[in-house]
Structure 1
Amino acid sequence: MKWTGRRQSENVEDRRGMSTGGKAIVGGGALGIIILLLNLFGGENAQMLTPMLEQMNQQQTSTQAGTRELTSEEKELGKFVNAVFVDNEDIWQRIFDENNMEYRQPKIVLFSDAVETACGSATAASGPFYCPGDEKVYMDMTFFNELQTRFGAKGGDFAIAYVIAHEVGHHIQTVLGTSNKVRQLQQSRSEVEANKLSVALELQADFYAGVWTKYNQQNLDIDDIDEALSAAQAVGDDAIQSRTQGQVVPESFTHGSSEQRKYWFMRGYKTGDIRQGDTFAEMN
């Protein structure tokens, strides 16, 4: 992705190298692998995963308060995240203006190990996530190493851009009121039906990531779409279940299959039209 020369966003908070100290409780994340696994599997499978989660949580949250100097690589990555977020700011403001809607900008927080949010405490094990309580995207960048080494996604900077755009997609849903409506509906539905609504919400965030990519295509490199699709493939519910459990349980999906995630990202990219993203109607 072509990203140099962007302005500096006022909505990027870089807390990397700043330790929160003490212990944090792992929070939920839109793409958080460990939390996602616990949500996907119940009963004996959840019990089997719990010790692993507790061990990871202990390792990642037993920190002492303090700061450290960021490496040159970390600083460069921070500049890249700023550029991607600036593109999200400008493009979504433009889209909302084109549709005569009022937009408010989210923020993004880069952190190391653990972080406090309006949605509770979280660790790096949560993966990237969006908190509607403070309208911020939270990212521990070590997630992307996990995405490649454990879940087989390709490398490349656009995998990061796709994840950021997906999380901003959840902010779009908050601004439009979609997220609140889904939460209300889920309260009166069975677990299976509530999961379907969750899948539709996640797929719509993938669709919005595709729309953003369409508007940003002048900055794309030749391999960027493949990198995004590889990341979508890696975080599909069926891919995660197959890799970790050896079986796929569609009724427990909460984020959508790999094919669904790739389809909705590409639908957003091909149409560039936010009115074409009614994932809820097509899930029925």
Structure 2
Amino acid sequence: MSFNDGAQLDPSQVEDRRGGGGGLGRGTMIGGGVGGALLVIVLSLLGVNPGILSDLTGSGQDTGQQQAPAGTGASNGTGTCKTGADASQRLDCRIVGTVNSVNAFWAPYLSKQGVKYTNPKAVVFSGQTSTACGPATTAVGPFYCPGDKSAYFDPGFFDELVSRFGSSGGPLAQEYVVAHEYGHHVQDLLGTLGYAQKDPQGPQSGSVRVELQADCYAGMWAHYASTVNDPATGKPYLQQITQKDVQDALSAASSVGDDRIQKSATGRVNPESWTHGSSQQRQTWFMRGFQSGDINQCNTLTGTV
């Protein structure tokens, strides 16, 4: 989805750590993205040579801060992300704009459910950063850390999503990733995030159910996104969604399915080691949220998913 040029972005909702770091801590990363961390888990479970990980993720052995990929606007920082036009042109500004829109959606929606929404912190980093859940690198992929109630994004991951996982590079493919991680924050507020620790592996595990629910929540945001207003102007952040936008989001959801990543990494599929759900499951639950716009339709914690 493209941003309206005149939308006013609020870069204060995103901390830009490119070129800096944060304090070390411990905790549990949730989401691990929609890609990188899942691949780490899959390779570990299947006993794959760790050297393959470097080839697949491009992580190598360098764990220091890296320069952001060209075109992300790292030289200027997210503090220079001011308008919707910036969000349409720069990936880091698109992260800022999506964070603004997702926050603006969930606050009033959850208020109607009797739940107070508090904005999580969003952190943009390059190469490596420290979190309350431990150190993170680009290879981990985007994730939510409940320990510091923050969502972490390395813009370099979005290149990986296209070049290594085969996703579309369209705007909603990228915005879906941000909205998915914010879905974990919603789960944290609702008290359902801990369900991920129940039967943490397998096609019907707690981990898969929590990830699919976050996909459904991302779909809910997409359902309403073109009507979520920028408080500064009273006009929508985003333009009307198109069928191409929907296909971009579904492409991203499919590219990070457990089955697809396992097949790519090892040549075989092992459902008992799934932690995020199959490509079909991820697409199905995104579409359920998108088509309904109803949080009650996102109950993945009971029944068969």
TM-score, scaled relative to structure 1: 0.85
CA distance in 2, matches of 1:57, 1:151: 15
Residue from 31, 34, 40 that aligns with 2:33: 31
User: 1:205: which partner in 2?
Assistant: 214
Once residues 200 and 95 of structure 2 are traced to their aligned partners in structure 1, the CA distance between those partners, rounded to angstroms, is: 39
* Residues 251-266 of structure 1: pairs in structure 2 closer than 5 A: 251-266=272-287
Query: For residues 20 and 93 of structure 1, do their structure 2 counterparts lie closer, same or farther at Cα, with a shift above 3 Å needed?
Result: closer
Answer whether contact 1:153 1:234 (CA < 8 A) is retained: yes
Q: Give the C-alpha shift of residue 110 in structure 1.
A: 0.4
Note if contact 1:196-1:254 (Cα within 8 Å) is conserved in structure 2: yes
Matches within 5 A, 1:84-163: 84-163=98-177
| Mapped pair 1:232 → 2:275 | no
- Superposed CA deviations along residues 201-232 of structure 1, whole A, max 9, x for unmatched, are 00000000001111114534422111100000
1:46 is matched with 47
Matched, 1:268 2:289: yes
Alignment RMSD, CA only? 3.0
Q: Given the superposition, is the C-alpha separation of residues 19 and 238 from structure 1 closer, same or farther in structure 2, using an over 3 Å criterion?
A: same
Structure 2 residue matching 1:91: 3-state secondary structure: helix
SS at match of 1:60: coil
Aligned to 2:14: 12
For 1:171 and 1:190, how far apart are their aligned partners in 2?
A: 19
SS of residue matched to 1:121:
strand
What secondary structure sits across from 1:279 in the alignment? coil
How far the C-alpha of 1:94 sits from its partner, in A, is 1.5
Letter of the 1:236 counterpart: G
Deviation at 1:279, TM superposition (A): 0.7
Percent identity over the alignment is 39
Give me the whole-angstrom Cα distance separating, in 2, the residues matched to 1:101 and 1:273: 15
Structure 2 residue ranges without an equivalent (≥5): 68-72, 82-89, 228-238
Paired residue secondary structure (1:281): coil
Which amino acid in the other structure matches residue 51 of structure 2? Answer: P
Question: What count of residue pairs does the alignment treat as equivalent?
Answer: 271
TM-score (norm 2): 0.79
Which stretches in structure 1 are left out of the alignment for 5+ residues? none
The counterpart of 2:95, out of the listed 54, 57, 81, is: 81
SS where residue 302 of structure 2 aligns?
helix
Task: Name whichever structure is richer in helix by fraction.
Answer: 1
> Structure 1 residues 174 and 245, CA, compared in 2 at 3 Å: closer, same or farther?
same
Partner of 2:40, secondary structure, is helix
* Paired amino acid for 1:36: L
**Within-5 A mapping of 1:142-221:** 142-183=156-197, 186=198, 189=199, 192=202, 196-218=205-227, 219-221=239-241
1:46 is displaced (CA, Å) by 2.4
Contact 2:43 2:53 in 1 (8 A): no
